[in-house]
């Protein structure tokens, strides 16, 4: 082995160690080893009860949130649309999660979104700012570039660097709480697409193709847990919703540590309304971000 090869190996090893220590081994492995399911889907009419039931099946929220940790809850509050429009995460669900996280002794709970509509309007009209604050979370702004930090994405990627919100990078635990919707550009928005709200400049993602770039958002840091609000799904006119948008009353919640698996299950729900599954799910599985094939997973189906 000459010096150059040695250096390459060394660099590769360092990268591997860095990746491992940074991201850790896939946490679902350890949960799986404990006998918990890979994905929990819960039917019901009350989102808070559905959340409790789902987390119970995964061994409780304490599996993911420990005393003294900084927790980021990332809802979808991109739109100045009231909760009846189902364009943003349900405010009741968000406040319920905030309270549960605080009860587990979290040091600090943050909530933010880099909104599409004017941020002050979106935070207010969605009702999420109020509900999160009342539950005890800190609602952080994400409306200027100064809150974001640039990170370099390792490997052969389309996006060489991404500007993540500093809280996304700092948080010990990230709870990704999207609402499932039709999306005109990407076909569907759920767990993976919701992470675009933690990124400052989204134009590079659109410019280079959403199907290729959305999975790459997971390369640097993955959410700890994905909780998809699929109680009432906008199946046309998404993601904002138009006056003639149609909805699917699916009354479901999908919870998984694997954002690809969660999105894969969510896509099945959209398919029942005649929509096509987004291409970024397969792409995410291809680059090893999770499992797209639901048959290979241990899925627990519950009713709350």
Question: Which segment (67-75, 126-134, 160-168, 184-192) binds other proteins by CB under 8 A?
Answer: 184-192
Q: Rounded to an integer, what distance in angstroms lies between the CA atom of residue 180 and that of residue 132?
A: 20
Least Cα distance to 234 among 224, 220, 222, 244 occurs for: 244
Is residue 192 involved in binding other proteins (CB under 8 A)?
A: no
- Residue number, 161 or 170, with CB nearest to other proteins: 161
Q: CA-to-CA distance for 182 and 195, rounded, in angstroms? A: 16
Task: Report the SS3 class of residue 66.
Answer: coil
150 sits near other proteins (criterion: CB under 8 A): no
Q: Which of residues 40-69 bind other proteins (CB under 8 A)?
A: 41, 43
Enter the tokens of residue 245. Answer: 């948008």
Assess 210 for contact with other proteins (CB under 8 A): yes
Report, in angstroms and rounded to the nearest whole number, the Rg of the chain calculated over CA atoms.
19
104 in Cβ contact with 65 (< 8 Å): yes
What is the pattern of x (binds other proteins, CB under 8 A) and - over residues 107-126? Answer: ---------xxx-xx-----
Closest contact distance (angstroms) between CB of 213 and other proteins is 9
Give the binding-site size for other proteins (rule: CB under 8 A).
51
* Contact in structure between 255 and 55 (CB atoms under 8 Å): yes
Residue 100's nearest CA partner among 31, 43, 178, 175 is 175
Q: Select the span of 14-22, 100-108, 165-173, 180-188 touching other proteins (CB under 8 A).
A: 180-188
**Which tokens hold the place of 75?**
């809802």
Interactions with other proteins, residue window 270-289 (CB under 8 A): 271-273, 278-280
Termini Cα distance of the chain: 61
Q: Which is nearer to other proteins, 155 or 243 (CB)?
A: 243
Residues between 227 and 266 that touch other proteins (CB under 8 A) = 232, 235, 237, 239-240, 242-244, 246-252, 264-265
65: its two tokens = 């949130």
Binding stretches for other proteins (CB under 8 A): 41, 43, 80, 116-118, 120-121, 183-187, 202-204, 206-212, 232, 235, 237, 239-240, 242-244, 246-252, 264-265, 268-269, 271-273, 278-280, 294, 299, 301
């Amino acid at each position: 082995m000459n010096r150059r090869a040695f250096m390459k190996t060394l660099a590769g090893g360092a990268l591997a160690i860095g990746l491992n220590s940074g991201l850790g081994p896939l946490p679902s492995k350890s949960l799986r080893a404990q006998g918990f399911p890979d994905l929990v889907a819960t039917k019901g009419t009350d989102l808070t009860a559905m959340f409790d039931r789902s987390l119970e099946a995964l061994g409780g929220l304490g599996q993911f949130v420990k005393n003294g940790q900084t927790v980021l809850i990332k809802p979808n509050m991109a739109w100045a649309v009231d909760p009846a429009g189902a364009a943003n995460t349900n405010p009741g669900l968000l406040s319920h999660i905030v309270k549960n996280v605080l009860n587990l002794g979290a040091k600090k709970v943050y909530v933010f979104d880099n909104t599409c509509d004017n941020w002050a309007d979106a935070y207010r009209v969605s009702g999420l700012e109020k509900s999160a604050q009342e539950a005890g979370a800190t609602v952080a702004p994400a409306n200027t570039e100064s809150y974001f930090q640039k990170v370099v994405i390792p490997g052969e990627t389309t996006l060489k660097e991404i500007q993540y919100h500093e809280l996304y990078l700092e948080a010990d635990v990230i709870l990704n709480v999207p609402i499932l919707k039709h999306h005109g550009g990407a076909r569907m928005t759920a767990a993976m697409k919701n992470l675009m709200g933690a990124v400052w400049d989204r134009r590079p993602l659109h410019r280079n193709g959403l199907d290729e770039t959305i999975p790459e958002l997971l390369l640097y840091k993955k959410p700890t847990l994905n909780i998809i609000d699929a109680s009432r799904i906008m199946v046309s006119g998404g993601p904002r919703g138009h006056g003639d948008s149609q909805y699917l009353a699916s009354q479901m919640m999908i919870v998984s540590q694997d954002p690809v698996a969660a999105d894969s299950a969510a896509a099945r729900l959209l398919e029942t309304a005649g929509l096509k599954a987004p291409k970024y799910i397969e792409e995410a599985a291809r680059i090893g971000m999770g499992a797209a094939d639901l048959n290979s997973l241990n899925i627990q189906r519950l009713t709350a």
